[in-house]
Each structure stands twice: as structure tokens, then as C-alpha cells.
Structure 1
Amino acid sequence: MSEQKSVDVVILTHQPDERFREELRRLKQQRYPVGQIYVINTRSKSFPKEVARMEGVSVTHIEPEEFDHGGTRDLGFRLSDAELLVFMTQDALPADKDMIGELVKPLLASKGVGVSYARQLPAKGCDEIERYTRIFNYPPKARVKGKEDLPVMGIKTFFCSDVCAAYQRTVYREMGGFTRRTIFNEDMVIAAKMVKAGYQVAYAANARVVHSHNYSGRQQFQRNFDLAVSQADHPEVFKGIRSEAEGIRMVRDTALYLLKKGKWYLLPVLLYKSGCKYLGYKAGQNYRKMPLWMVKRCSASKAYWEKYAENNICN
């Protein structure tokens, strides 16, 4: 049996609701012991005061202009001294009491695995297209991905999600940690560094969290714009690794899924949202050619551009 290691959890919050309280309750019920839960909250008008009084929970408040997808998570790493650190978002609910144990299992089994990420299940009320997106990105079969998978899997080799992911402290530090300044995609950036350094990324399919979103076409555009910006800002990671083919495959497979389910009338919605994703992605790839006002309109991360505009916009 694998040696047990200490595990802490970091949750980033902004205007947390009842779903966040339920997440804390479920983390407290995990069979694999969780040491400390570090909540890093971006200040807003409200925060549940009872959370700060919970045993084993530590709350750190930051100002909105201080938030950064990579830098704020790195703060969480520096707050903890656990051997393994789990990152979660405030809307990711553990599906059962074995989520943490299953998530860290690949890290306990091999020092060569730098990070493992959980399977995301559709939440109640999830629309049919998003439901299949969960299945496509988070299938029921676990796997470990490494450098040898790049010729076949392409960019999917680097896929990882900090919605719920566990990191080996030693490997994290060796990689230099999360990029301190990033608009999005900090998880794939560090996962790619690990793969290129000879480490592996584990998809822990038996570690399950309930998490999904019903994004509008505009939201899909903005999300994919930010995704492409993150890739353009990290050519050392993503140069030469194409992702369009994976997107095309997802659209094709989703269409077949809808037809099989008798939901053919959703095909126009699929085409519309897929078009929004593609246009957002292509715009993000070329963001340096755009004026700042247009970049802000295209992005879901307005505060990021206020903070870093002078270093990112060339014109």
C-alpha cells in the first residue's frame, strides 16, 4: 500500500454562495484526511462569516486588483507546507467521500506524476451540449499522460484543470510554480512544463466532482479568447502544438451524440456556440494587433487588462 502524505486544499472564492458551504462540508467528510483548507477570497460586499470560524479553515482576503489565476494560486502554495496540495474552485462539489483519496492516488503511486486532476460531472440543470462536453473532456477511463503521448494526443497531453487538481510539492517547486501573471490556463501551462521535463499528468477518473456551466455564445467567445491569449503569451509551451483539430473532433462527436439522443433540434445551437468558440480563439491568437478597448470587450477578464495592459498590448 502506498505511503500516506499530507494533503491541504486551496479554494479560490469570489462572492461564494451556498454551493461553496456545501463544498466545505463535503471536504470535511472525506475518508482521506485533509489537513488545512485555505480559502483565498477576492473581496466583495459579502463573505460568509461562519466560514472563518470553521475548524481547519483559514481565510485570506485579497483585493480584486491583486487577483491573478497563477499568482493567487501560488499564494495558496506558499501558505501551505503539505506534501500534496489540492486546488479547487468554489463551485466544485466532491461527488463522494473518496474524491480526495482517488485524486491523490496517482501521486502516491509514483513520484514521476507531477499533477492529477479530477473527473467533472454535469450538475443538475446542465444543458445537453454541456453535458456531452463533460463526457468528451472527462471520460470514465483514467489515464496517465507523458511526453510519449504528444504525437497522438497533441495539446490534450497537457490538459489539466484546477477546478480540482492535486500537485506534488516537490515537482511544483522544481517547475518554478504557477506563472505569476496569467489571464487563464495556469493549469495547462504548468502541466506542459511538467510533461516536457519528463514528468506525467494523471487523469484520475474515479475522483469525481460535480461541476459544469451553461455558457452563452458570448461567454464561450470570451472564454476562448482568454484561452488563446494564454497560449499566445506562452509560445515556449504551446508553439507547434495545434488545438483546432481537437475542437473540430469535439463538435463532430457532440453532433453525433445529439442525433443519437434525438436532440437534432439542438444542432443549430451547437453550430452557433462552436462558431463563437472558434471566433474567440482566433481573435485571442491575434490580440496584440487589437486596440485595448477591443481586447477588453472580447475578454472575460477585464481586471487583468487594467492591471497588465501596458505589458501586453503592443500598439
Structure 2
Amino acid sequence: MKGSNLTSVIIPTLNPGNQITVLLDKLISQSLPPVEIIVVDSQSDDGTPALVNQYIASHTGQNIRFIGIERKDFDHGATRDMALRESSGDFVLFLTQDAMPANEHYIENLMRPFSDEKVALVTGRQIARPDARPAERLVREFNYPEQSHIRDASDIERLGIKAFFASDVCAAYRRSAYLAVGGFEHPIDTNEDMLIAAAFLHAGYKIAYEASAEVVHSHNFTLRQQYKRNYLMGKEIQKHAALLGGAKVAGEGMALVKYVIQGLAKGCHLCEIIRFCFDCAARLLGNRAGASAGAKLQNESSSEW
């Protein structure tokens, strides 16, 4: 696909600061530049609207658009769906505001698996930021390995929940496939990427993980933030248990814990092991509480029928 110019890039933003211009610079400098870039901002109060519009004015040769929405109207599924339908590319790339392409070949590499016409979704590799905690760096290594792969429906039984792994931190969609399965579900609090990945597999499409398409991205979450994040994940996974085939998170979670603790032990990070144990507790408690809330919503929905 090298040489084609069929890609749109969509970036949801909320108070990104000056890093949004850094990200825009990296995108327009790609070896396979996008045909358009759409910034969807949720009422940033750090000057982002003015900053992006100034950037647009100073880069008149680039097709960059700014769309502003009310902060209260942001939804992980609906907002991305709206932006995708506003875009024109045959392939639509999503990036978060803090995911920086590692080099100028990010888009070119991310597009490579689409040479298989059955591939509907490609997820890139996330490399930890320089300031990432040792545990977070190991989590990224576990979730985003060096080996690329492609999955289809035949892999669901073997991989379980991992078969639906996808991340809109850095992902690309084939527009025709996206529209064919109805797009992102909404309203939704999180995991819109996992759910549409499941829809793709059930519809006979394939999902790719392209390790050569790298972005620098990670978080040093507090325990409270980790709990909240996993609460929302647990709720959405439970609510959509039928779509996900009842796949369990626990087995994959234990493999992650083992990998991280072994890595921390090799590096003699004793204090980090202790903190990671608390982090795991926050993940587990949040996931269980979220799953309970999701089950309650399922029951309430069933009773309405």
C-alpha cells in the first residue's frame, strides 16, 4: 500500500497542551502521510482550540480539521463514530493525544496488514515512556510483544479474551468493514475497541497486531485511577458477555502478574514489587465491582423485556 494516500487520522483531545502540535508535526512528516487529520476536542480549557487552529492556519498545505464538542457529550464510542463518519479515508486511524509515533514509518507500517483484504482492524505496538515505572514498562512489554500476528474467529477458543485485544490508543480501521458491522457501540464508558474487534471476528473478518508500528505511550496510574479504569472495563465486559462469548480475564491477568513480578525480581525492584501487588489488588477489586455492576444492568435490562 506504499504510495497510496487513503488514510484519515482522528485524535480526540482534552487539555493536551503543546503535545498536540508535536503530534501533528510527527503525523505530517510520515513516510505515508494521511490524507486528512481530524482533531476532536472536548472543550479543552488549556488553549487547545486556539493552538490547533493556529497550527491549521500556518500549515495551509495540510488537510487538518478541528471539531469542537461539549465535554458532557464525549463518549468513547459515539465521538469516535461521529469523527469517522466525518472523515474520507478508506482507512481510518485513531490516536490518543499522548501516543507519539516512534518514527516516520508508523502509518506505513500500521497499514501493512491491510494487504490482506479480510483484515478489518490493525493495532500498533505501545512502547513505554522514559518516565514509566518499571512495572508499567513490563506491562507494556507483555501486552505489546515484538512479534506481529493476525487473528480470526478460529483463534477465539484458544486465546479467550485475548482474541479480542485491540486498543484505540493506536489503531487503524478498514472503513468498509467498520460500516458493515455497524460501527462502535454507544453510549459506552470504555472498551469500544475490544467490542468492535469481537464483532469483526464474528462477522468473518481478521484482526492484526503490527509490532513494527510503534507509538510511545504509557501511564503511571495511581491506585485510585487503576481501580476506576478496571471498574469501567469490568462493567463493559460483563454487559457484553454474550458478544465476548463469556471469555474470562482472570487467566490472562495471572500470566501478566507472573511476567511482571519475575521481571521486577530480576531487576531487584523490591519496592516496586510491593507497589505492583497493591496495583494488582486495585485492578482486581475494580474489575470485580465493575462486573457486579454490569451484571446488575444486564438483569435490569432483561426485566424490562
With the length of structure 1 as denominator, give the TM-score of the two structures.
Answer: 0.89
User: Alignment length, in residue pairs?
Assistant: 294
Partner of 1:212: 218
Shift of 1:311: 8.3
1:215 CA drift (Å):
0.5
1:137-286 mapped onto 2 (5 Å cutoff): 137-286=143-292
- Equivalent in the alignment of 1:10: 10
What one-letter code is carried by the residue in structure 1 that aligns with 2:38?
A: Y
Per-residue deviation, residues 83-113 of structure 1 (Å, max 9, x unmatched): 0000011001000000000011111x11100
Report the CA distance shift for 1:201/1:71 in structure 2 as closer, same or farther (over 3 A): same
Residue 128 of structure 2: which of 122, 125, 128 is its match?
122
Unmatched 5+ stretches in structure 2: none
Residue identity (%): 34
Q: Which residue of 2 aligns with 1:87?
A: 94
Deviation string, structure 1 residues 232-262 (Cα, Å, up to 9, x no partner): 2223322421111100110011111111112
Partner of 1:307: none
SS at match of 1:230: helix
Which residue in 2 is equivalent to 1:23? 23
Measure the CA separation in 1 of the matches of 2:189 and 2:105.
Answer: 32
What is aligned with 1:73? 80
* TM-score, with length taken from structure 2: 0.92
Structure 1: runs of 5+ lacking an equivalent? 292-309
The corresponding residue for 1:303 is none
Which is further off, 201-210 or 19-28? 19-28
State how far apart, in whole Å, the 1-side matches of 2:167 and 2:97 are: 14
Q: Which moved more, 1:19-28 or 1:277-286?
A: 19-28
1:40 maps to which residue?
40
- 1:208 alignment partner, SS class: strand
- Post-superposition shift, 1:5? 5.1
Q: Aligned-pair distance for 1:151?
A: 2.1
State the one-letter code of the partner of 2:83.
G
1:112 alignment counterpart: 118
Preserved CA contact (<8 Å) 1:5 1:83: no
Question: What residue is the counterpart of 2:53 in the other structure?
Answer: 52
SS in 2 for 1:270: helix
CA distance in 2, matches of 1:258, 1:120: 20
Contact 1:94 1:209 in 2 (8 A): yes
| 2:104 aligned residue (81, 90, 97) | 97
In the TM superposition, what is the alpha-carbon distance from 1:149 to its structure 2 partner?
Answer: 1.4
Deviates more, 1:1-10 or 1:165-174: 1-10
d(CA) in 1 for partners of 2:66, 2:47: 10
State how far apart, in whole Å, the 1-side matches of 2:92 and 2:168 are: 11
